[in-house]
Copies of this chain bind each other. A is one copy, B any other.
Amino acid sequence: MVSPSRKSRRVLTQASASRERSLIPIGMATILPRSARQVRRLEGQLLTQIGRWGYDEIILPTFEYLDVLAPGLESELLETCYQFVDRTTGRTLLLRPDATAQVARTVAMGLTGGRFPQRLAYRTSVFRYEPEHAGRGREIFQIGAELIGVKDVTGDAEVITILIECLQSIGLRSFTIALGHVGFIKGLMTRSGLSVPAQKRAEQAAAKKDLPRLEEILKAEGITKSAAMAIREAPELTGGKDVLNRGRVLAAGDPVLLEPLERLEELYRLLGSAGYADSLLLDLGEFRGVDYYDGAVFDVFAPGVGAELGGGGRYDHLIGRFGTDLPSTGFALDVDRLFRAITFPEETDDVSRIDYLVIGPGRLVSRVSAVAAQLRRRHLRVAQQTINKVADRLLVSAIQAGQAQEARAVVVVGMPGQDRDDEILLVEHLVNQMDPTGNGRPRRPKTKRTSLTALVNAVQSHRS
């Protein structure tokens, strides 16, 4: 999906990026371990949720030939793409600016087979010259789903339901789905007698909720006052069911305008009966500003994030641009914005990066390896290291190394008097582990002579 930008009305305070992020120069979006772990967990949760609805992931190429993908991309979007010449063929390549167009191309080429409906999911990056994404450079992580071959309203309800379940599954408590139908405002414009290029400009202004610009375009075209008033009113029609009643008044019996309203009402009713009414905001001006949408469309917003977290809609004629029409609908979520919108569970007092660091003198390298391997077999995260220190410095060095590695505990082999393969010294409470008795002081490292067998058994019993 394409995220059109700058809906002035909705621009809320920009949440500050995490501290880790702010170290990264603009345009070089390296995601460091702690964030990467959270991003991957987020991706996993979203794809699992989407997968439960029978959607299969496909992996899309990072770049494509421009001439192949261009039918799915409007000229405005093409201007924000990264393009370059393929040295091998002389043809122009472009970095994927939009996943939905790629999926449409793939389906139209028959690559996903000829049986419908098809349910496809993806996790990918899209690339655009977009100043708003400055924080993460211009590489935008997306996760999305496309339902190909379902024409009736249950298809729209399905993708919106999945979207809502996705947001709930990652713990996003408060969000709003603005729901509209591009047919309504487009119908108003067509009826008013706007010229084709003026309508295109007016649609863009309406998509951005830029009412002064919309006013200006309507004036310049000299359309009737009542038609202009109806067009200007549409982007302001947001709220509950009464919005549809006002829409019907503006439609004045015109079936071209009544049909989108009926479809929207049916969709609103279906989602409401599933218990989602509180998350919905009808918006007769909503149409995402992307030219391939031609039915029900939606955007998701959350407090504290100044742009939509995602959105989608129906595109019954996009696949037709690459072949034969197939009624379809889908959504995508912007992983980076989701990341900023959700509150991650409080880190527990155990902030260790690894479970154990196994450490010993260089001459015992094989023993260090064997001990570490045995712990890893219990699915623990275990780093290993040898150090060359005299015996009485071994423990101090081991503790320092364990702290540097943010280990939960250190296992020392080869301490004086511990010569058997099974003997170890266990050091716990290394870093940032507060004393649970509550005086707020960090615990001091605690050492214990024990055996590997005892440690492994403790791990097992702790698990079961």
Contacts and interface: CB of A to CB of B under 8 A. Distances in A.
Contact of A112 (B32, B53, B83, B369): B32
Contacts of A57: 33, 36-37, 40
A53 B129 contact: no
A61 to B, nearest CB: 5
Contacts of A28: 61, 64-65, 68
27 contacts: A27-B65, A28-B65, A30-B58, A30-B60, A30-B102, A30-B111, A31-B58, A32-B111, A33-B56, A33-B58, A36-B59, A37-B57, A52-B379, A52-B381, A53-B381, A53-B382, A53-B384, A54-B383, A56-B353, A61-B137, A61-B139, A63-B82, A63-B95, A63-B127, A63-B139, A87-B129, A158-B384
A161 B82 CA distance: 40
A88 interface: yes
A81 to B, nearest CB: 10
B111 A62 contact: no
Interface in A40-55: 40, 51-54
Give the contact-size bracket for chain A. 35 or more
Interface string A374-390: 00100111111110000
Interface in A272-292: 273-274
Interface string A1-37: 0000000000000000000000110011111110011
A101 to B, nearest CB: 13
Nearest to A24: B111
A39 interface: yes
Nearest to A89: B27
Nearest to A94: B84
A462 to B, nearest CB: 18
Per assembly, the copies of the chain total 2
A115 interface: yes
B30 A56 contact: no
A317 B54 CA distance: 49
Interface string A111-131: 110011101100001010100
A221 interface: no
A152 B125 CA distance: 39
A293 B236 CA distance: 63
B53 A154 contact: no
A286 to B, nearest CB: 24
B369 A52 contact: no
Given A61-B28, A68-B28, A37 B53 contact: no
Contact of A154 (B29, B56, B365, B404): B365
Contact of A53 (B30, B95, B116, B383): B383
A106 interface: yes
A282 to B, nearest CB: 20
Interface in A260-307: 270, 273-274
A354 interface: yes
A118 to B, nearest CB: 9
B54 A354 contact: yes
A129 B87 CA distance: 8
A44 B383 CA distance: 19
A331 B419 CA distance: 34
A59 B31 contact: yes
Contacts of A274: 366, 369
Contacts of A382: 52-54
- 6 A-B pairs with the lowest CB-CB distances in the bound complex, closest first: A54-B383, A33-B56, A84-B84, A31-B59, A54-B354, A52-B376
A137 B96 CA distance: 15
